Every structure is written in structure tokens, then in C-alpha cells.
Amino acid sequence: MEYGEINRIFEENDKFLILTHKSPDGDTLGSGFGLCYFLRDMGKLANVVNSDGFPDRYDFMYAEYKDQDFEPEFIIAVDIADVTLMGSGLAKYQQEGMVDLCIDHHISNKHYAKLTHVEGQTAAAAHILYKIFKESGRKLRDITAKCLYTGIATDTGCFKYENTTPETHMAAAELMAYDIDFANVNRKMFDVKSKGRLKVEQAVTGSMEYYLNDKCAMITITTELMEKCGADPAEFDGLASIPLSAEGVVIGITVKQRHKNVYKISVRTTEEMDASAFCGLFGGGGHIRAAGCEIRGSLEDVKALLIEKAGQVLGI
């Protein structure tokens, strides 16, 4: 879809519901709230929903947000590659034909919406929205710019991941020209951690396991560990980068327990391996260097399966 077509959709409809993915991160929330504020500034009605609620660490994006009372007429999913990523709280929107438009940057997008706009080479969904907003010619409020900047910064690892391009930097620079206190955003997103989060980092780093001639590193985060450390599950953005930080590792795997016998898998890889293709073996997907999936079973079985498939891909 062309940006002009998407802007026409914004113009021609009045009541929007914006869906964000479960276990929300900075990009899905930055995209969701950025779009919500943009639509409200057009005089439209718009709400943002999430299956797991909105984590406190992102409260600077939604501090002034209040739900509006209306029945949605147009449903937009942002940064959601697959309906299963909506979570149980948004189950009714997972039915075929429920989502009118999906705006996403994952190459593994399942094209479940009536209309889909995917830019697999763009670093963040928030960057796509910024390009759409620029095309409209409308001026953004500072809060909208702050949301979009947060989405771009978090999905690029503060601009250090290889999905960062010159275009990414230029978009970020333009958003920094607004009154957004970007230094404080970056500090809150990347430097400030709770005591519980630091305890978890210490625990998983100390117990990291190596496989396949040390080309695969794995950390495990159980609900028991989270409870023991007193950490909120919403605080775990960025932990997935720990296994790949070990020298010589080609694939870093983070196994995080969601429920009994249900595990969220986050994969990070070097240029020697396609993370999205690997997670696709388990029904997941994402980006070439960062992807995820969900696997059911005992912890031992889940780990054994991941190691087996990684060995097959690596030829070990």
C-alpha cells in the first residue's frame, strides 16, 4: 500500500481501535500510542488495547491517555506479525476478517488483515508510521514524536543493531528536533533497571549454558526465578541479547516461561544464521537477526528440541 492510501483510510474513517502485541515492547506501544494521538489530533476517536496491559516503564507514553467511549468501526494492528501474538485478551480479534489494516515491519507477517502494509527492511513499525505521518503533511505533537522515537530507539537497541540504517538515523534526528527529552527516554529504556531485573541478569548470566561447540548459548528464565528475584515480567526487554554477547556464539537463545509448559523463545543470531527462518521451524518468525516463537512442553524437552534444530541448521 502507498502511504497516501493509508492516510486516506485515516481521513475516511472516524472510530479506530489500535491493537498492540502481547508482552508489549517499546515499538508496539510507541506505534500504538503514536498512531492514537495522531488520529485524535485529526478529530477522530481512537483507543489502544493490549492483552497484557501497559507496563509502568512506558508510562511516559500514556500518562495523558484516557480511553474514549465508542464502538470501533476500523481496527488497526501495529507491529503484529501473527494473530497469535495478540494474546488471549484480544482473542476475538484473531478471527479471520476482524482486523482491517496491519502496519508491520516483520518479514514473517502472515497477512491476516484485510489490508496489510509491511516494510521488512524498516527497523521499526514506529518508523513506518512516521513516514506515513510525514506524507500527510500534518504537524505532530511532541507526545506523538516521543512515542515514535521510543519505538525506533528500542527496536534498534539504541541504534546499535544492524537493522539500523542511515534512514533510521535521519528519522530519529527529525524526531529529536521535537521537545521529547530523548536523553531521558534512552536512559529509562536502556540504563535504568530495577533491583529485580539486575538479580535476574546476574542469575541467567551465571547459569548460561553452551552447546554445539560453543556456537549456541542459552539462558533460561523461569517464573520461579522471576518470583525469587521480585522482577516484573514486563522488565525483560533486552535480556535476549545476553547469550549472543558471548564470544564465538552464532545463535543466542532465551527461554522464558510464560505459563506451565509454555515458553516464549527469543533468538538472536550473527550473519551466519537466519533467526526468522529458525523460529519459523516452530511456527514463529520475526527478523533475520532477531526473531521469536512459542513452544509448549516441559523445560527439558523445549531446550532439547531447540538444541537439536540449532545443530541441524549449523550442521553440527
* CATH code for the domain in which residue 11 is found: 3.90.1640.10
> Do 27 and 115 have their domain in common?
yes
Is residue 207 domain-shared with residue 120, that is, in the same domain? no
pLDDT value, residue 26 = 96
Q: Are residues 203 and 115 in the same domain?
A: no
- Determine the pLDDT at residue 28: 98
Say how many domains are in the chain.
2
Query: Per-residue pLDDT tens for 245-297?
Result: 999 999 999 999 999 999 999 999 999 999 999 999 999 999 899 999 999 99
Q: Which of 190, 208, 226 is the last residue of a domain?
A: 190
- Does residue 285 sit in the same domain as residue 219? yes
Output the pLDDT for position 59.
96
Instruction: Show which of 167, 190, 213 is a domain's final residue.
Output: 190
Which residue spans within 20-123 are E strands per DSSP?
45-49, 74-78, 101-104, 115-118
- Strand, coil or helix: 298: coil
- What range defines the domain where residue 55 resides? 3-190
Taking a C-beta distance cutoff of 8 angstroms, is the pair 116, 104 a contact? yes
Please check whether residues 35 and 19 belong to one and the same domain: yes
Residues lower than pLDDT 50 in the chain:
none
Using DSSP's 3-state secondary structure scheme, residue 7 falls into helix
Q: CATH number for the domain including 199?
A: 3.10.310.30
179 with 306, same domain: the answer is no
Same domain assignment for residues 135 and 264: no
Query: Given this model, what pLDDT does residue 304 score?
Result: 98
User: Domain check: are 68 and 182 in the same one?
Assistant: yes
238 shares its domain with 284: yes
* Residue pair 115/1 in contact by the 8 Å Cβ criterion: yes
Which one of 190, 218, 249 terminates a domain?
Answer: 190
Residue 299 CB neighbour total at 10 angstroms: 13
Cut 0.95: pTM above it? no
